[in-house]
Amino acid sequence: MIAYVTVGADDIARAKQFYSAILPALDYTLEESPEGLSYTLPVKSGQSAVQPEFYVKPPFDGNTASAGNGAMIAFEARSQQQVRDLHAAALAAGGTDEGQPGFRASYGPRFYVGYLRDPQGNKIALFSSNPDEPGRD
């Protein structure tokens, strides 16, 4: 099980604008600290932490943050409409398009996905595989 994911950012304010445009709609809450941003999922009474947590921080070594070549983080949305809405919100919040929301021929018939890059260049996927929605023809 993945416990947490961290991406580097040189401009935490820009990163906050981008990620706060999409993650609260997926039930993540934000905690800010001098070390950066921590997005976590709600924990019910008696439950241990819900994983994975998602962190946005300046690199520990003090060097410039860079996106991993071939690395991508995917967040699951509840519906195809939410994928479209969050993709648009992320673009308005400083992201760049890496693939408009839709079905992809190389994936399963219910995998609806949109791709973005955050302001630092990290690749993000927003997807839904909701079985109650129409699939690809």
Q: What is the mean pLDDT of the chain?
A: 94
Q: Is the pTM of this model over 0.85?
A: yes
Contact (CB, 8 A) for 52 and 4: yes
Which domains are assigned to the chain? 4-59+70-128 (3.10.180.10)
pLDDT in tens, 30-68: 999 999 999 999 988 888 877 899 999 999 899 999 988
- 3-state SS of 14-61? HHHHHHHCCHHHHCCEEEEECCEEEEECCCCCCCCCCCCEEEEECCCC
pLDDT score recorded for residue 2: 81
Percent of the chain with pLDDT over 90: 83
